[in-house]
């Protein structure tokens, strides 16, 4: 029990002591704000760029124990979900908090399948992009644009309206993602085929050509489904924080999710698997690995796909992806970079530099290899990530909307600029310029 635990703080500026309650390993920033507060001075605040030690919410969506390498969605271990569930069932779990009955599942799958089409004007909008537009930029714009097609979405206090937008977004994301992919290739957009499963339909929209019906390889569909499950949520990461922060203004969920996509677009968040591929290609062959590792240890560069802010153990998603590699390569043939990756991992895991710093493969170490084998160009990697993360963003957004404690996100700052300068009109300032 932590309820009766407290923290005693002595403010040495005044000699005053304060007793702050500790709940769930946290103190309330608002309680700190009472320290040293006077009529003229604000109370004590916390300075925490990047929110590295600040809990912004209570959440029951995802649990991570980085030291032990544990990831659970709504209490279910990721390993079990990846092995025994489907992406749509996991999406239901994340959104609703519990696993569906058969009837709930069938209804959910039906609803999602029913909403895979988008308005023809969304298609026109996407066709208006330049031939070489980045698919992630296209995805984020088109998801944002959906808010104009469903203006009722701004009524976020109505659970029925909310549910409808959640369904629409999970349903339409593969359509928008696949069309962004086809656009860059100058190929016609493929409409959804609602006879197929979620992932099979996605493959069809990506790769169908002149055949009347696309026949997806079930092993590839399964591997892609697993990858989507692995990316479905990861608690308060950068993009989820963006969704929550923008969502806290009570904007519609399309706008909030497009903020999440924008955050994921950044190389520090969604781009590491592309960096892994580039690194493996640069290493080129197993013989070059020792020299590469020496370079990493000398601080010349990083071993991409290794290390994680939260996981100080094997990222559980990396273990699962490694297995998925075998299934995909059985169909596509082995990606020659796999051999280098495996050898690199073996050497790194035995090397004191990596052991001492608790650097293990993360989710990105192997995912790029699979995506490349599936013929995705690197620009598509973050789009795949975004499709997988959509149920997580929406589950977190729904939790935010229902959370009575949440307020509009509005951090404090420490002001470092000038004060009380005298403004001189432009004409006077410029008159003195030589």
Of residues 356 and 420, the one with the C-beta less far from ligand ACO? 356
305 binds ligand ACO (CB under 6 A): yes
CA gap 168, 139 in Å, rounded: 15
Of residues 123 and 302, the one with the C-beta less far from ligand ACO? 302
Cβ atoms 201, 116 nearer than 8 A? yes
Which of 5, 28, 278, 357 lies at the binding interface for ligand ACO (CB under 6 A)? 357
278 binds ligand ACO (CB under 6 A): no
307 binds ligand ACO (CB under 6 A): yes
What residues contact residue 113 under an 8 Å CB cut-off, 6+ apart?
Answer: 171, 194, 198, 201
How many chain residues interact with ligand ACO (CB under 6 A)?
16
Cβ atoms 221, 113 nearer than 8 A? no
171 binds ligand ACO (CB under 6 A): no
The residue number whose beta carbon is nearest to ligand ACO equals: 307
Could you tell me which of 232, 156, 228 has the C-alpha nearest to residue 393? 232
What would the two tokens of residue 281 be?
């290609």
End-to-end CA distance of the chain: 72
Of residues 246 and 304, the one with the C-beta less far from ligand ACO? 304
Residue 373 CB, nearest distance to ligand ACO (Å)?
A: 20
Which of 22, 302, 327, 342 lies at the binding interface for ligand ACO (CB under 6 A)? 302
- In the residue annotation, 308 being an active-site residue is answered as yes
272 binds ligand ACO (CB under 6 A): yes
Contact stretch for ligand ACO (CB under 6 A) within 79-87, 191-199, 257-265, 362-370: 362-370
Instruction: For tokens 């692995």, name the residue.
Output: 230
274 binds ligand ACO (CB under 6 A): no
Task: Assign 3-state DSSP to the chain and report helix, strand, coil percentages, each to 5.
Answer: 55, 5, 40
**Around Cβ 192, how many Cβ atoms within 10 Å?**
20
Residues 282-301 binding ligand ACO (CB under 6 A) are 296
Distance of alpha carbon 403 from the chain centroid: 21
Of residues 85 and 362, the one with the C-beta less far from ligand ACO? 362
Q: In what order do the strands lie in the sheet with 62-65?
A: 62-65, 70-73, 76-77
3-state secondary structure of 6: strand
CA gap 394, 416 in Å, rounded: 37
304 binds ligand ACO (CB under 6 A): yes
Residue 72 CB, nearest distance to ligand ACO (Å)?
A: 17
What would the two tokens of residue 192 be?
């959804």
Backbone phi, psi, residue 12, to 5°: -70, -10
Residue 104 CB, nearest distance to ligand ACO (Å)?
A: 31
CA gap 26, 6 in Å, rounded: 10
Residue 211 CB, nearest distance to ligand ACO (Å)?
A: 35
Which of 364, 372, 379, 399 lies at the binding interface for ligand ACO (CB under 6 A)? 364
Cβ atoms 367, 321 nearer than 8 A? yes
Which of 254, 292, 306, 371 lies at the binding interface for ligand ACO (CB under 6 A)? 306
Catalytic entry in 134, 269, 327, 351: 269
Residue 310 CB, nearest distance to ligand ACO (Å)?
A: 8
- In the residue annotation, 364 being an active-site residue is answered as yes
Residue 81 CB, nearest distance to ligand ACO (Å)?
A: 18
Residues designated catalytic: 269, 308, 364
| Contact residues: ligand ACO, CB under 6 A | 269, 272, 296, 302-309, 357, 359, 362-364
């Amino acid at each position: 029990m932590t309820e009766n635990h407290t923290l005693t703080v002595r403010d040495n500026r005044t000699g005053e002591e304060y007793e702050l309650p500790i709940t769930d390993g946290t103190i309330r920033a608002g309680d700190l704000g009472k320290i040293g507060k006077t009529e003229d001075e604000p109370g004590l605040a916390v300075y925490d760029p990047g929110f590295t030690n600040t809990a912004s919410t209570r959440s029951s969506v995802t649990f991570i124990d980085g030291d032990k390498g544990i990831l659970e969605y709504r209490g279910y271990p990721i390993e079990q979900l990846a092995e025994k569930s489907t992406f749509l069932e996991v999406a239901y779990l994340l959104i609703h908090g519990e696993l569906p009955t058969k009837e709930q599942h069938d209804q959910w799958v039906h609803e999602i399948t029913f909403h895979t089409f988008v308005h023809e004007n969304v298609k026109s909008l996407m066709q208006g992009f330049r031939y070489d537009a980045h698919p992630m930029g296209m995805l984020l714009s088109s998801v944002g644009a959906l808010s104009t097609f469903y203006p009722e979405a701004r009524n976020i206090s109505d659970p029925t309206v909310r549910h409808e937008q959640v369904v629409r977004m999970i349903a339409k994301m593969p359509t928008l993602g696949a069309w962004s992919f086809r656009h860059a290739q100058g190929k016609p957009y493929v409409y959804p085929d609602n006879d197929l499963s979620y992932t099979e339909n996605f493959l069809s929209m990506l790769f169908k050509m002149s055949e009347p019906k696309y026949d997806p390889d079930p092993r590839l569909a399964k591997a892609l489904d697993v990858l989507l499950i692995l990316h479905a949520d990861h608690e308060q990461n950068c993009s989820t924080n963006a969704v929550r922060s923008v969502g806290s203004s009570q904007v519609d969920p399309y706008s909030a999710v497009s903020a999440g996509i924008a955050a994921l677009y950044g190389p520090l968040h969604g781009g590491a698997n592309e960096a892994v591929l580039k690194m493996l290609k640069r290493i080129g062959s197993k013989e070059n690995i020792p020299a590469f590792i020496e370079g990493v240890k000398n601080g010349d560069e990083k071993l991409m796909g290794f290390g994680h802010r939260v996981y100080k153990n094997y990222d559980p998603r990396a273990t699962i992806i490694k297995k998925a590699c075998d299934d995909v390569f059985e169909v596509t043939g082995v990606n020659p970079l796999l051999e280098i990756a495996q050898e690199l991992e073996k050497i790194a895991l035995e090397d004191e530099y990596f052991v001492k710093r608790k650097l293990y493969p993360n989710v990105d170490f192997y995912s790029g290899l699979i995506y490349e084998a599936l013929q995705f160009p690197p620009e598509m990697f973050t789009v795949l990530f975004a499709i997988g993360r959509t149920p997580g963003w929406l589950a977190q957004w729904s939790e935010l909307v229902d959370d009575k404690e949440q307020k509009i996100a509005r951090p404090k700052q420490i002001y470092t600029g000038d004060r009380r300068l005298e403004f001189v009109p432009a004409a006077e300032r410029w008159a003195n310029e030589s």
